[in-house]
Structure 1
């Protein structure tokens, strides 16, 4: 079985006060509803071996947020293996995005499990801009490394 891989794009912006904020999304669906800590993610998704990771990151950003990936210089934040074994590749790009314009994509799943009823759920049910300190506990544990790498690349302490 081929290794599962995901690629994504972490947007960041600088506030008028000089702080850096990142855009992350709360994962949709019944499993994540009611959870806050470690229930947010960088917009990302799986891709096949024959698709370039950068193309997958753009596609997944648009699928999850309903908006095209912003233009700008991409900062390679590298790869990290998630707890589930999936290898995730993330880039960062400096851009602002109005969270009110987000129209999340959906996925189908049987819910409740074993009921035979298939329902639609948003891939991401809300998005928000957060400073590094606020984003850390929200992000799933395996993606926090990308915040550290972005802070390094930007030469900031992550505040």
Structure 2
């Protein structure tokens, strides 16, 4: 079974919570918006530490190294069957400074021509309601979990 690990960043502006979501790069995702965004994440193997993999993937997709008090969230399962492990952390980054790694695919398909695309083409901070509309529905539970965990501290 494939598995991924990722980080859900959140921050507060006054008493309003915001979540960092990323939009996948490449031609397939170009015109997709609602239910297409994700937490920064990537695959890892059974012999890797999932939090370490999540930090590595976050750095690869955003260019930022993050630290803090990571809150482990319950994993979710995507439609594909892939299991996604995630941690949330209160940490602020400037989305204008994000620099994603790239991947190469044959584009257009069957053309024999290969093109490079960023793994993520943009990132944005969203308030809870908007984040729940933008994020892949299977990952929405990560937002619900962290809101539930931190709502008592507001």
- Whether these two folds match at TM > 0.5 is yes
**Secondary structure of 2:96's match?**
helix
The list of structure 1 runs, each at least 4 consecutive aligned residues, that deviate by more than 3 angstroms after superposition, is: none
Structure 1 unmatched runs, 5+: none
How far does residue 116 in structure 1 lie from its aligned partner after superposition? Answer: 1.2
**Which residue among 39, 44, 56 is the counterpart of 2:41?**
44
Partner of residue 92, structure 2: 96
Q: Name the CA distance, whole Å, in 1 between partners of 2:101 and 2:124.
A: 16
**Which residue among 134, 138, 141 is the counterpart of 1:142?**
138
Counterpart check, 1:155 vs 2:151: yes
Correspondence 1:67-82 to 2 at 5 A: 67-68=64-65, 70-82=66-78
Q: Name the CA distance, whole Å, in 1 between partners of 2:77 and 2:123.
A: 24
Partner of residue 12, structure 2: 14
Query: TM-score by structure 2 length?
Result: 0.96
Q: Name the CA distance, whole Å, in 1 between partners of 2:17 and 2:59.
A: 23
Q: Name the CA distance, whole Å, in 2 between partners of 1:62 and 1:72.
A: 14
Correspondence 1:51-70 to 2 at 5 A: 51-68=48-65, 70=66
- Give RMSD over aligned pairs: 0.9
**Secondary structure of 2:23's match?**
strand
Deviation digits for residues 67-100 of structure 1 (CA, Å, limit 9, x no counterpart)? 11x2110011120110110000010000111111
**Secondary structure of 1:40's match?**
coil
How far does residue 112 in structure 1 lie from its aligned partner after superposition? Answer: 1.1
How far does residue 56 in structure 1 lie from its aligned partner after superposition? Answer: 0.5
Partner of residue 118, structure 1: 114
